[in-house]
Amino acid sequence: MEIKLPKKALVTGAAGFLGSHLCRQLLSEGYEVTAIDNLFTGNKSNIYDLMDDRRFSFVLHDVTQPFWGQFDEIYNLACPASPVHYQHNPVETIKTSVIGMMNILDLALKTKAKVLHTSTSEVYGDPLVHPQVESYWGNVNTIGIRSCYDEGKRCAETLAADYRREYGVDVRMVRIFNTYGPNMHPKDGRVISNFIMQALCDEDLTLFGDGLQTRSFQYCSDLIDAMRRFMRLSRVDVDAFCVKHSLGSPVINVGNPGEYTIKELAQETLKLLPDSKSKLVYKPLPADDPKRRRPDIILAKELLGWQPKVPLCEGLKKTIAYFREMV
């Protein structure tokens, strides 16, 4: 009788916000998970509860250095994702995106592993097309303060596409739009964590510009669901989908198409925290901050049979409960 061995997955950036949720999901599906992180923005407290699982192993490692192991699937989530963190050391940020991506793809090439790369809606820059579709090439400043992240992620997509074309590496990409939920860093500078922590501490909620710029907010469980659905697909099905839609490489938007102004988000946060003494205050808009952001998810719906399920109000309640324990 043939014994079926569990699949082995490598997750980079595993101690981060999204990486920790992905590790937990993979373990629940029976995977053996190797988690690597340099803990620049990740926190081992996000994965403490996994350490006693014999199928889980953590390795302190930076993806800019090569890593070896035999894996069936590789999930590349390694990169600071908030402006506060990726602008702290911009050279390291772009090295993580570019050199780290090359190391992941080289490992996949040697071991025949399937790769899922987490790209970002930031590849669209300050978009001139709304909502953003995968065929849009973006409007990105190559030398701005956000460029280390934006252009790093764009280059990582180029590497993934070329390794797929030239070497046949089975790599898929998701362009992630604003995602939130438990395990976010309380000081990561992203708008939802900022607003919740400010409101819990009775500090004024900081809005930049007039607060009328828009974002789309996706709860973390919806994103993890989409990522897993994408990786379960056969390469034959993915290739056929790319041909059908004239995609040079399998890349899809994953986000919630509900569009909110930043001011509406601030008001909703305060509505859920009625005891907060916080008020809204306005500061100048940072350079290259996108004015509007909303994903077109038609391709994700067709390919994955997926769409987000968690409403903003429900997701905010869960995230507030998580942050409340830190105050």
* HSE-CB for 185 with a 13 A CA cutoff: 19
**Whether pLDDT at 166 is above 90:** yes
pLDDT score recorded for residue 1: 59
Number of residues in the chain: 327
- Rounded to whole angstroms, the Cα distance separating 225 from 84 reads 27
Mark whether 260 is an active-site residue: no
Higher-confidence residue of 297 and 80: namely: 297
**Whether pLDDT at 3 is above 90:** no
Full DSSP string of 110-147: HHT-EEEEEEEGGGGBS-SSSSB-TT---B--TTSTTH
3-state secondary structure 235-260: HHHHHHHHHHCCCCCCEEEECCCCCE
From 237, 213, 229, select the one nearest 292 (Cα to Cα).
213
The string of pLDDT tens digits covering residues 269-295 is 999 999 999 999 999 988 777 888 999
Report the chain's mean pLDDT, rounded to a whole number.
95
Contact status, residue 280 vs residue 252, Cβ threshold 8 Å = no
Cβ-based neighbours of 129, under 8 Å, separated by 6 or more:
136
Written as one letter, the residue type at 49 is: D
The string of pLDDT tens digits covering residues 188-239 is 888 999 999 999 999 999 999 999 999 999 999 999 999 999 999 999 999 9
User: 149, 163, 180, 260: which is the annotated catalytic residue?
Assistant: 149
